[in-house]
Amino acid sequence: MATPAPLNFQLGPIVWVDCEMTGLDPKKDKLLEIAILITNGNLELVDDGLEFVIKADKSALENMDEWCTTQHGQSGLTRACLASPYTKDYVSNAVLQYIKKWVPEQRTGVLAGNSVHVDRTFLSAEMPEVVDWLHYRYV
């Protein structure tokens, strides 16, 4: 990996996120899975990142819309969420500690991703301490 040391502001840390949820409404839907990669401003990875499947109640999974039911069922995510040992609180803490390891200065790492606006909305609702650690801008 290109960057073996924690990243400071001048190195332009970017925290890449991808989440899967039970739907797109953060008022009723829940996070099911999160993956994080961290790069410097030159897009060089600091390591292999991390990924967690979050334990979900059967009722939350039964209330998914048709797209989520089909997609998460076919991918195996629904079964993985029922079997996962990782609670949302555990995952939130692990993600925050991972980010702090590589981006030790609060409000320095910029959140990025493909559907980052939606992912950030869910993180704000379910893992606010993670969003609070990051810069307010996102890519």
Strand partners, 35: 18, 51
Residue 52's beta-bridge partner residues? 34
Catalytic residue among 90, 98, 136, 138: 136
Residue 94: CB atoms within 10 Å: 15
Distance CA 40, CA 79 (A): 35
Neighbours of 115 (CB within 10 A): 12
CB 95 within 8 A of CB 132: no
Specify the DSSP class assigned to residue 26: T
Could you report how far apart the first and last alpha carbons of the chain are, in Å?
A: 23
- Known catalytic membership, residue 138: no
Q: Which residues have a catalytic role annotated?
A: 136
